[in-house]
Amino acid sequence: MTHTRTPWLLAAIAFLVLVPLWIGGEFGGADGEAAAMIEAADPAFTPWFQPLWEPPSGEIESLIFALQAAIGALVIGYAIGRRHGRAAERHDRNDDLKR
């Protein structure tokens, strides 16, 4: 990546982060939106099952979600790094064979 692209990428990231915050609105989960739509369509609807465990507070729920995201990012990062390392190793071997 060239050095002239970096400021543009940073500006694009800042734009994507700041515009939704500037527009405002309520950031709710998809589960709550779906439940509201179902209740509006059929007020007599009853859920098929209840959650096995509900976190005691919204902060704990956010913590668990963030932990899940971090573990997923680590797994994806490891896989990408491993693949990059194998490709570099293959490239080095091919350079050695050409000499």
Alpha carbons within 13 angstroms on the beta-carbon side of residue 64 total 9
Residue with tokens 């709550």: 32
What's the confidence (pLDDT) of residue 90?
86
How far separated are the first and last CA of the chain, in Å rounded?
29
Give tens-digit pLDDT for 13-63: 999 989 988 888 777 778 778 888 998 999 898 888 888 988 898 899 899
pLDDT-derived band at 1 (thresholds 50, 70, 90) equals low
pTM over 0.75: no
pLDDT-derived band at 2 (thresholds 50, 70, 90) equals low
Q: In this structure, what token pair is assigned to residue 33?
A: 């939106």
Asked if 37 and 31 touch (Cβ cutoff 8 Å), the reply is no
